[in-house]
Amino acid sequence: MHTPTYLTLDNDVRQLRQTDADSFATRISGGLLSAADSAYEEARKVWNGMVDRRPALIARCLSDADVQSAVRFASARRMLVSVRGGGHHIAGNAVAEGGLMIDLSGMRAVSVDARNRTARVGPGALLADLDRAAQAHGLATPLGINSTTGVAGLTLGGGFGWLTRRYGMTIDNLLAVTVVTADGEVRVASAAAEPDLFWAVRGGGGNFGVVTSFEFQLHPVGPEIYAGLVVYPFAQARQVLRAWRDFTANAPEELSVWTVLRKAPPLPFLPASVHGTEVVVLAVACSGDVAAGQRAARPVLQFGEPIGSALMPTPYAAFQCAFDPLLTPGARNYWKSNNFSTLTDSALEVMIEAAGRLPGPECEIFVAQLGGAMARVHPSVTAYVGRDARYIMNVHGRWSDPRDDNQVRLWARQVFQNAALHATGSGYVNFLTEDEAERVAASYGSNYHRLQTAKRRFDPDNLFRMNLNIEPAAQAAYSGAVQAKR
Ligand SMILES: Cc1cc2nc3c(=O)[nH]c(=O)nc-3n(C[C@H](O)[C@H](O)[C@H](O)COP(=O)(O)OP(=O)(O)OC[C@H]3O[C@@H](n4cnc5c(N)ncnc54)[C@H](O)[C@@H]3O)c2cc1C
C-alpha cells in the first residue's frame, strides 16, 4: 500500500500517487529526487541565497528524452515547472515551491567544430565550460562576465559581456537551438527552420520550451587580450565618470570599459589603506591585438590620478573569471537595473550619490558599456528589443545577514527610482527580480505583442511560467490568475 504524496502548485492541490512518481523516475536517466533524498538539499539551491524554495520533485535530465518525459509529466498534472540551467537568475526562477524542477545541470557537454568555428553546447553548461573549450582553439563567443553563470539562461535572455561591442550579443551568435516545447515535442529552430520559435528564444527567456542544445558562432579571440583594472579614489568620481562617459562614446569596438562603484576589495595592487573604502573601478577588456589594445586603453589611466592599476596581457579565459571571487553563490542578493541610451551628468550624479552611501561592503553599482555591434542589429530581428541601451546599470545589493534585507533593498530601489528619470524605461529580463513582473512588457517594448503570439502558439497553457513571464495572447485572464497565485 503506497501513501499518496501531494504535488502542488497554483494552490491547486493534486494528489500524486507514489506509483506515478515511481514510474516517472524510471524515465529520468539522471534520477528523480524528492525531499527524502540526500542529494535534494544541494540540488534545490540556486545562486541567490535569498531563494529558499522546496520543489516537490527534481528531475535530473541527461537527454532530450528525459526532458520530454518531464514536460509531459508536468503538463498532464498541471504542475508548476521550473527549468534549471546554471541557477544564476536573480529571481531564482530555476526552482519553484512545490513544483517540478527540470534540472539540466548534468547536460554540460560542449563540442567545438574549430574548422567551421561553431560550438554545440548543452543546456547545463556554464560560461567557463564554453570559454575553455572554445579557447583551446583560440575562439570565443560573447558571453557574460562571471564564469559560473549558465549559458542557457544568459543566452535566452540576450547575453552581453566583454565581446559584445565587437561581436554582438550572445543571441546574435546563436545559430540554432533544440527545444522541447510544452506539447512534449522536440523541435530544432534556426533562421531556416521554425523561424518564429528561433526569433522568440533569442531574448524571450525560457517562455517557449526547454532548450536542450545551443549552437553558436565562434570568433577568433586571444588567447591573450589586453585587460585589467584601473582604480581611482572616490573623491575623483565625478571627473573620472564624466571622462569615462566621454571616452566610451567613441572608443573602438574591440574595447569595453565598465565601471564599478564599490568599496575596494583587498586587491594586491592597491595600498592596504584603501581596502574597504569607496573607489571607482574601471574594468578594461580589449579583445583585439594586444599592442593595439594597450594603445587604445591608455586614456583610461588618465581620467584622474589612479590609486592603482593592473592592466596587462591576460589570457581571455582567465579574465572571464576575474570577477568570480566577488560573485560567489549563496549570498543574499537583490538587484535593480536601468538601461541608458546616454549618461547625462545628472545620471552620473545619481550613481555617485548612491555609491556614497553603500549599505554594505559587498554592495556595488555596476555599469556595463554596450553599443557597437549590438546596436547595429535592428530591434525587431530578435526578441531582445533594448538595442539602444549604450549603458546598463545594475545595482547589486549583496549581503549576508537577513536583518539587513530591508535596508539593502530600500537602497537599491531608491537608486533605481532616482536613475529612472534619466533611463530609457526598458529593462533587461536577465537582471529583473521576482517582484518586477510589471517590467516585463516594457522590457520587450514593440516586440511584446509578437512574443505573446509566439507564446500562444508554442505554450498556450503557459506551462513555462516560472520565468519573467510573457502571457499568451488572448489568454491574459488565465495567466493573470496564475501570476496572482505565485
Ligand atoms: C553573478 C552574475 C553575473 C552576471 N553577469 C551577466 C553578464 O555579464 N551578462 C549578462 O548578460 N547576464 C549576466 N548575468 C545574468 C544572467 O544572464 C542571468 O542570471 C541568466 O538567467 C543566468 O542563466 P542561468 O542558466 O545560470 O540561470 P537559471 O536561473 O538556471 O535560469 C534563468 C532562467 O532561464 C530559464 N532557463 C534556464 N535554462 C533553460 C533552458 N535550457 N531552457 C529553457 N529555459 C531555461 C530558467 O527557467 C529561468 O527562468 C549575471 C548573473 C549573475 C548572477
Residue bearing the CA closest to ligand 1, atom 33: 153
Q: What is the pTM of this model?
A: 0.94
CA distance 20 to 28: 13
Mean pLDDT on 371-381: 97
pLDDT digits (tens, 9 = 90+) for 405-457: 999 999 999 999 999 999 999 999 999 998 999 999 999 999 999 999 999 99
- SS3 percent helix, strand, coil of the chain, rounded to 5, is 35, 25, 40
Q: 18 pLDDT band (50/70/90 cuts)?
A: confident
Residue with cell 555596476: 366
What is the best residue among 333, 430, 462 to mutate for testing ligand 1's pocket, by most ligand atoms within 8 Å of CB? 430
Contacting residues for 224 by C-beta, under 8 A, at least 6 apart: 290, 313, 314, 315, 316
Tell how far the Cα of 156 is from the centroid of ligand 1, in angstroms.
Answer: 8
Residue 209: closest CA among 27, 74, 59 = 74
Q: Going by CA atoms, what residue is nearest to atom 47 of ligand 1?
A: 83
Question: Angle CA(142)–CA(428)–CA(192) in degrees, nearest 5?
Answer: 55
Identify the band that residue 276 occupies on the pLDDT scale cut at 50, 70 and 90: very high
Ligand 1 residue neighbourhood (C-beta within 6 Å): 47, 82-89, 93-94, 104, 123, 144-146, 149-150, 152-154, 156-157, 159-161, 205-206, 210-211, 327, 430, 466-467
pLDDT of residue 435: 92
Please tell me the predicted confidence (pLDDT) of residue 474.
Answer: 80
Helix (H/G/I), strand (E/B), else coil: 153 = helix
Q: How far is CA 243 from the centre of its chain?
A: 29
Instruction: Name all contacts of 299-302 with Cβ < 8 Å and 24+ positions apart.
Output: 299/247, 300/230, 300/244, 300/247, 300/257, 301/230, 302/243
